[in-house]
Amino acid sequence: MAMKILVVSNMYPSKSSPVFGGFVQRQVEALRRAGVEVELAVNTISATGLAVNAVKYAALSRRARRAARADLDLVHGHYLYPTAVIAERAASGAGRPLVLTAHGDDVDNAANSRLAGRIKRALDRAQAVVCVSEYLAARLMERFGTPREKIHVIDCGVDTELFHPMDRKDARLLADLPEGARVVLFAAHLREAKGVRTMLAAHERLVAERDDVLLAVAGDGPLAGEVEKAAREGRMRGKIRVLGEVSHYRMGVYYAAVDVVCVTSEREGFGLVALESLASGTPVVASDVGGLPEIVTEGLAGRLVPPSDPDAVAKAVLGLLQHRPAGLADAAARLTSEHSLERVTERLVSLYRSLIA
């Protein structure tokens, strides 16, 4: 008989916001392919603000309570703030085990919120807590005192059907990027914590050193206007390609088409962009923060640099443009094996079975 679970998430894609919480959707799809019956209670509204949040989280809570029927095997909540409280109510109402996943900023956001006490109770009530990196597991123990034996480090995984090495010339053609340029890719939600300004400052230094460098920026967000302005004005005019929001299914082409991918985040719970880039055979320059060092091995898969240091980013990119890491292929193969979506899904299903046995 198939396992039945309820997934509760405050982020999930929609037609208007196709990349909003996309990694949760991909995990759900992988679970369904593995034979798990998944019901959803999710929020697809990406807008924020006090009034909007009050409405959308009240609606999410109602959906979760309605969906939490007695024939479920367990409830899995994604994000601690505020979903942990909503998922815990649903699991308690149905008398079923609770799994919670912490993805990154939600750990600190939860600890600093007015719901901190209720989130801690949800964590204490949960039979298992999933963290997407060892870094985040340590952070969770520090902020909430969650026992290590309750924590399972399981990341979101990389879809190797989408992210794999391609002929760079073919990928450039598909991505509509100039064949003769040395292309650096920055893909993120364009907000301050992702190091957007650090990337722009680093690119200004790169342009001063090499005339053939082009920065491709994929994503949208509060700092999109600054990126567009930099692409139109000053020394970087014509040296930035603004791609806008790119679907997950297209990103593999861009990763394979470029020479280097930069992840200049000020903080990062895991680093899915870095993992997808390496799976596509492209080296990474990443901030030495959060879960990124668990993915990017200095000298093998790319370079680690201090956060908020555009000089270090530019120097690392220049080095990779001159010499691709000799161990890149081996590092990519190891990461792909360890973090494939199939392997991650197997671990998650195994965890579920251990809780409902």
Q: CA torsion, points 203, 305, 196, 158, in degrees to nearest 10? A: 110
Beta bridge partners of 99: 76, 128
Write down the pTM of the prediction. Answer: 0.92
Q: Determine the length of the chain.
A: 357
Virtual torsion, Cα 321, 199, 107, 17, nearest 10 deg = -100
The pair of three-digit structure tokens given for residue 351, joined into one six-digit string? 């965890």
- In the structure, what pLDDT confidence band is assigned to residue 37 with cuts at 50, 70 and 90? very high
**Which residue in 90, 97, 9 sits closest to 45, CA to CA?**
9
**Sheet of 74-78, strands arranged across:** 37-42, 4-9, 74-78, 98-102, 128-131, 151-153
Three-state DSSP class for residue 79: coil
The architecture (CATH level 2) of 168-338 comes to 3-Layer(aba) Sandwich (3.40)
Instruction: State both tokens at 329.
Output: 């292929």
List residues bridging with 214 in a β-sheet. 183
For the cut 90, the answer to whether the pLDDT of residue 52 exceeds it is no
Out of 183-187, 219-223, 279-283, 294-298, pick the least confident.
Answer: 294-298
- Where in the chain do CATH 3.40.50.2000 domains reside? 4-157+340-356, 168-338
Look-up of token digits 């308690």: 92
CATH homologous superfamily of domain 4-157+340-356? Glycogen Phosphorylase B; (3.40.50.2000)
CA dihedral angle for residue 346, residue 347, residue 350, residue 354, rounded to 10 degrees: -170
* Residue-averaged pLDDT of the chain: 93
Phi-psi region of 80 (alpha: psi -120 to 50; beta: other; left: phi over 0): alpha
Find the helix or strand (DSSP H, E) in which 63 lies: helix 50-67
Q: What is the pLDDT of residues 103-159, one digit of tens each?
A: 988 888 877 778 789 899 999 999 999 999 999 999 999 999 999 999 999 999 999
The span from the CA of 304 to the CA of 171, in Å, is 26
Residue type, 332: A
Residue 87: pLDDT band (50, 70, 90) is: very high
In the predicted model, is pLDDT for residue 69 greater than 80?
A: no
Q: 317 falls in which pLDDT band (50, 70, 90)?
A: very high
Question: Could you tell me which residue, 61 or 191, shows the higher pLDDT?
Answer: 191
> How confident is the model at residue 43, as a pLDDT?
86
According to DSSP, residue 245 is labeled S
pLDDT at 44 over 80: yes
